[in-house]
Structure 1
Amino acid sequence: MILKIIIFFIALGWIFSSLVRYFLNSKLKKFADQVQAAQREETRKRNKPKDGNVNVDFVPGDQKKGSSGTISGGDYIDYEEVKD
């Protein structure tokens, strides 16, 4: 008789722990999805350019210079500023 009661409580505990684990996992997944959606929304708002502002996301590092110390890749054209 006592053995049946012990087995019953062990089975009841196992079923209860399985149900609690299932519900906690579903609630945690829902919470994680909400947090992730909020982070995406915040990132979208932060990256949205405002009217009249320029946002530079990439700043290149030092570019390699030619052997003579000048910038390679184009010709330098002298110009004279003309004021109206």
Structure 2
Amino acid sequence: MSCESHLKLKYLEITIPSPDAMNEIMDLPHEVTTHPKMIETFAGHPFFVDVTQGFKIKRNDGKMATACAAPLWNGWRLCLLVH
């Protein structure tokens, strides 16, 4: 959010222990979204995940990012897309 070292970040995917980890990660101002366009963006490159909701985050530089938790065969992952 602060854009100190990730100004050109386009997407990020990291492994998380469970969807409950989103509560810790999302300890910043956000808005829950179920907008169909957002869901479609996570269905394709680079994530290929099936999600029903995400968290919209406004960055300090004015760009928006959407984050979601998605199941993996052996756990969970956090997917973040800057748009």
Higher relative contact order (CA 8 A, sep 6+): 2
Q: Which has the larger radius of gyration?
A: 1
- The structure with the greater share of residues assigned to helix is 1
